[in-house]
Chain A
Amino acid sequence: MGALDIKLFRDLKRLWAQAIAIALVLACGVATLILAVGTFRSLEETRDAYYERYKFGDIFATAVRVPDAKAREIAEIDGVAAVEPRIFEVALLDVEGFREPATGLIVSVPPSGELAVNDLFIRRGRLPEPGRVNEVAIDAKFAEAQRFSVGSRFDAILGSAKTTLTVVGIVMSPEYVYSLGPGDMMPDSRRLADMWMPEETLASLYDLDGAFNSVSVRLLRDANETAVIEAIDDLLEPYGGTGAVARKDQVSNAFLQGELDQLQGMARIIPPIFLLVSAFLINMILSRLIELEREQIGLLKALGYGRTAVAWHYLKLVLVIAAIGVVIGAGVGTWLGRGMTVMYTRFFSFPFLVFRSDVDIYLIAAGVSMAAAAAGALKAIGVVFALPPAVAMRPPAPQVYRQFMGGLLGRMRLFSQVTTMALRHLVRHPVRTLLTAIGTAFAVALMGVAMGTLSSVDFMIDAVFFRTERQDATLAFSSERPGAAYQAVLKLPGVMAAEPYLDLPVEIGNGQYSRQLSIIGKPARTDLSRVLDLDLDPVVLPSTGLALGDRVADILRLRPGDLARVTFLDGQRRTVEVPVTQVIQSYIGLMMFMDIDALARLSGTGPRISGVHLLIDDSQLDALYRAVKETPQIAAVALQSRSRQRFQETMRENMSMMLTVYLTLSIVIAFGVVYNSARIQLSERGRELATLRVLGFHRAEVSNVLFIEIGAIVAIAQPIGWLIATGLGLVITESLATDMFRVPFVIEPGTFAISSIVVVIAALISALIVRRRIDALDLVRVLKTRE
């Protein structure tokens, strides 16, 4: 080891606390990068491989009844690689020992047992065979939640009869990686089964012999997706087609994509913050080190070390610190990544999902961190490189201070001399002061964003579950019923209040903009499932006209007073022009509402309903469930009360995890920045502080110089932090908003207060640690040396 390397290690030993503080900040950057990129990759690659191997469809369409022959016509559309016509039904399930009614989403398996699209991964058992009327394959999540295995039995109301089914296979489908029951807002594996049954069984039960009601298509690589969708829509229109959707709008895939987008957003926002802050910290301590070692640098150069060798020596110091950060970060990142992947397997159903810890992710993380560290060192290293030995061996020119505002403040005697010292020092280094404040502000911002996200979700839960969807349950009929069905539901045991709704698929357009969506009809005044305006006040639906969700209004460029073109996709396929009467608030889905009778009239039929929202008397819940399980007309039951509960449980769990992570990140930044900044101040001002002690200032009074400076920086950091938090929060929520799900960014004053308190405490602790060094100042030595 050369003499310079020995110096390097001694320097590191001396600077260990500062080096560790910086390495930890860098480690946060590395860890979050590895976590986000690694998890993103694991999820994306697993998804892509799964979709590819199990032939996930590119286009999905449903209709009422399409003759089998049409499947061949679909296959002939230009760009179509494979077609899977199938029967899709929703049925109520009755599982012994499980009191709530469950819902089954049933897909047919062709007689060949070969699925050309959306193939199944068979975990255990086999697919149901043709002719075996009671055989069913179920998805692994439902099997796990209900502790079902091959041979288990449960009841289902299929068509109009209750049938006992036997599980012959436990499977997974690329179509149901994320599975939501009709009307449900949270996945609930115990209450939702994805099921596969023989085609002929379903055809005879649902009267669909020689016909299908759902189709999924795989495209050739260079196919024109839009053209194929249009062609399919044209083909299915006479058979009650409700509009084909592309893969990106398929529910399971859209949720998965949302998660991937979130990970990507995290990879773009969080690691750069840490890399920036660590680059700044490195710049700060290296500049100071070089200032202190000016004479040594001059000496080394005078002794004949080249300027590159001397510069490299200091760069190596920085790279060693960065390397420590990379090692810590890689370890923590991998650990977090594994945890996150395990968490994903609870929400998403994959045959395999492991955290991909590819070497290149680590190389990228290491490269980026080293580069950030080197960039931070650049300016200081440049000084080392350029310093002529003769100049280096002389002390630097004294620092020139100025009075601010022409000494006005001094004359006003607002501040003591000690405060003046601290403030002038801050103003003397404006760039450094500002950067230190911004560094600290990031700590405030991270905490603010984390807590803001939580209040946003809280706000949403309140808006959705307590102000909008206030019903306990929703019953969905297997097909639309006349208004009399509503009266029948009212008579069910335990029903305290009920509200009918009508859900009609439409194509809604305005000039060049159009979408296939549903219009939901409700009674004008609703009390259970309500419609809220932009201020979250309940809306009374007018007897004509359409209330549009804000997102739909934006997409279609419709404002109140405009006329929307509406084509009903079922029945007589009428096209009408409907005035937009109001824009309303909607956080979930693309919603449109009308008065229920007006909607039925407009679509060209008499009064009818798709389902009923219920308020239930808890004491009669069992009786109600029993009755529902025996009612063949009811296809699905959504239990909002359970969704509410599950939502809050999941949130609480995620909340504490997320808060812990962000709290740690925020404290690491605050500590790293404030501790280093305090150490630099102490190093620069040790002599001044010792002089104050000599002049008769007590330790506490001398520490005040340091505390005032840190206090001023931390104070400046707060509003900047709040601003960054708000900005980041808006950017994040905006970038994560999808048609399916939008969270408004809500940040409360309390959030700012808590973020600030966390950072102030972290800063105070770092300052107190540095204060101990002030107590240990060697007064005599300081006086004997020249500056």
Chain B
Amino acid sequence: MREAVFRIRDLSKVYRTGNVEVKALRGVDADLFHGELTVMLGPSGSGKSTFLNILGGLDTATAGEVRYRDHDLSSASDRDLTRYRRDHVGFVFQFYNLIPSLTAKENVALVTEIARNAMPPEEALELVGLKERMGHFPAQLSGGEQQRVAIARAVAKRPEVMLCDEPTGALDSKTGILVLEALTATNRELGTTTAIITHNATIGSIADRVFHFSDGRITDVLENETRLSPSDVDW
């Protein structure tokens, strides 16, 4: 029996802006297992980002239950969620979200300074192949390099969960492969439970499982018998 890291039951999320009500999630059930790499696919507005944000403790559910191991995220306070993000979650975003005034190494150190069981920033950067460039500021790095710094920043704290929202969205295919390789390597070597949102359906082949989102629901879950290496994916 595989160990479920996340247990999600009947999760729904409603956004209210003025008089308009947007139902972003309408009763989602899912389990994410330890060490598993999942890919979330679906059109814009299908709810996959909302799902990921709630898993990451950036947003809270309107109804339903989200459990991370023995933590109930659906009833957690802001302080608890901050603690949860700090100790357990690594994030990677489409627009990198590096701090422009800090060098690559310092961006990683930002996290290692506050995490409990962090690796040295140099080691994290080596993992993504950027040890040589650690003294550079974000503005001096290419998009792919910046995203790899962001990954190094996420893995440096040895997170149990890695959540990536369109990590290759702003990159060309060659750079995208490098970034995905960094993510799969982390997943493999650290056993990090990893979820990746993407628009690119072919990326699904690197995952253990692929979730299809549509209209606020998970409509289909596909299990891959074998995972492809990112470099073998046909872009």
Contact = CB atoms under 8 A, between A and B. Distances in A.
B155 to A, nearest CB: 13
Contact of A417 (B83, B91, B95, B110): B110
Interface string B59-94: 100000000000000000011001111110101010
A70 B227 CA distance: 126
Contacts of B123: none
**Interface bin, chain A:** 35 or more
Nearest to B86: A696
Q: Which one of B85, B100, B165 has the greatest number of beta carbons of chain A within 10 Å?
A: B100
A75 interface: no
Contacts of B58: 694, 779-780, 783
Interface stretch (B35-43, B101-109, B125-133): B101-109
Interface string A766-787: 0000000000000110011111
A691 interface: yes
Given A417-B109, A696-B85, A780-B53, A407 B97 contact: no
B111 interface: yes
A153 interface: no
Contact of A696 (B49, B82, B97, B140): B82
Nearest to A702: B82
Nearest to A402: B137
Contact of B82 (A402, A698, A783): A698
B139 A691 contact: no
Contact of B101 (A407, A416, A428, A696): A428
B109 A697 contact: no
Contacts of A407: 103, 135
B216 interface: no
A47 interface: no
Nearest to B101: A424
A356 interface: no
Contact of A695 (B91, B138, B140, B165): B91
Given A401-B100, A401-B101, A783-B97, A420 B82 contact: no
B114 interface: yes
A693 B82 contact: yes
A699 B79 CA distance: 9
Interface string B109-120: 111011100000
Contacts, number: 93
Interface string A686-704: 0110011111111101000
A399 B139 contact: yes
A216 B82 CA distance: 87
Contact of A697 (B82, B98, B153): B82
Contacts of B109: 417
Given A696-B87, A697-B82, A780-B59, A410 B106 contact: yes
B99 A783 contact: no
Given A399-B100, A698-B79, A780-B58, A417 B113 contact: yes
A269 to B, nearest CB: 39
Given A416-B113, A697-B114, A421 B138 contact: no
Given A420-B102, A699-B78, 12 more contacts: A401-B100, A401-B102, A410-B106, A417-B102, A420-B106, A424-B101, A424-B102, A688-B101, A692-B110, A695-B86, A696-B87, A701-B114
6 contacts: A400-B140, A691-B99, A696-B114, A701-B114, A780-B58, A783-B58
